[in-house]
């Protein structure tokens, strides 16, 4: 059973397991984004392109819009509030890149949002970071992985 690293007998190899986990997280985020107006907050326009290629149709908010971080967080607070109970509680999904700069931005934004009493989802990013780090460290690269991920995403979120 070369290439199969699961000990639970599922037969999924490491690659398939990692893409399955990533696809499941993306599919859940896509479903909540579409059905509950749950915004995905990303760094820039190329990240938006990647999420659109993955089938996101709800709000996608871009951090880099020429505003200070404090101003954009205040805008998101006014627009989305502190909670979205329909989407599981968190009012937004914070999805910065999982490189060093993205990690710093993630922490800074999460701290600012939490100071506004905003509940923030960071789990989606954590799953992607853990499962896709060998292939990529940035959201925009999901664009090139869309075909490989779409099968797993659609298992979780069947429009």
Determine, yes or no, domain membership for 92.
yes
Determine, yes or no, domain membership for 156.
no
Q: At what angle do helices 100-115 and 69-80 cross, to 10 degrees?
A: 50
Q: What is the pLDDT of residue 60?
A: 98
CA distance 87 to 7: 33
Q: What is the pLDDT of residue 134?
A: 85
Each residue's pLDDT expressed in tens, for the chain with a length of 159 residues = 333 444 444 445 698 999 999 999 999 999 999 999 999 999 999 999 999 999 999 999 999 889 999 999 999 999 999 999 999 999 999 999 999 999 999 999 999 999 999 999 999 999 999 999 889 999 999 999 999 999 999 999 987
Determine, yes or no, domain membership for 7.
no
Q: What is the pLDDT of residue 45?
A: 95
CA distance 49 to 60: 10
Q: What is the pLDDT of residue 12?
A: 54
Determine, yes or no, domain membership for 43.
yes
Here the CATH number for the domain that contains residue 45 is 3.40.1360.10
Q: What is the pLDDT of residue 153?
A: 95
- Helices and strands in the chain, H and E counts: 6, 6
CA distance 80 to 37: 9
Domain of 49? 14-150
The total number of structural domains in the chain stands at 1
């Amino acid at each position: 059973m070369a290439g199969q690293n699961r000990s639970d007998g599922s037969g999924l190899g490491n690659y398939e397991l990692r893409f399955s986990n990533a696809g499941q997280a993306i599919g859940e985020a896509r479903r909540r984004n579409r059905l509950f107006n749950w915004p995905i907050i990303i760094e820039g326009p190329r990240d938006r392109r990647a999420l659109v290629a993955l089938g996101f149709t709800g709000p996608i908010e871009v951090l880099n819009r020429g505003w200070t971080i404090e101003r954009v967080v205040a805008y998101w607070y006014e627009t989305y509030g502190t909670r979205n109970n329909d989407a599981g509680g968190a009012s937004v999904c914070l999805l910065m890149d999982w490189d060093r700069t993205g990690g710093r931005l993630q922490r800074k934004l999460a701290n600012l949002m939490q100071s506004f009493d905003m509940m923030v989802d960071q789990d989606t990013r954590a799953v992607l970071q853990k499962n896709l780090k060998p292939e990529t460290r940035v959201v925009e690269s999901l664009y090139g992985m869309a075909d490989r991920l779409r099968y797993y995403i659609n298992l979780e979120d069947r429009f």
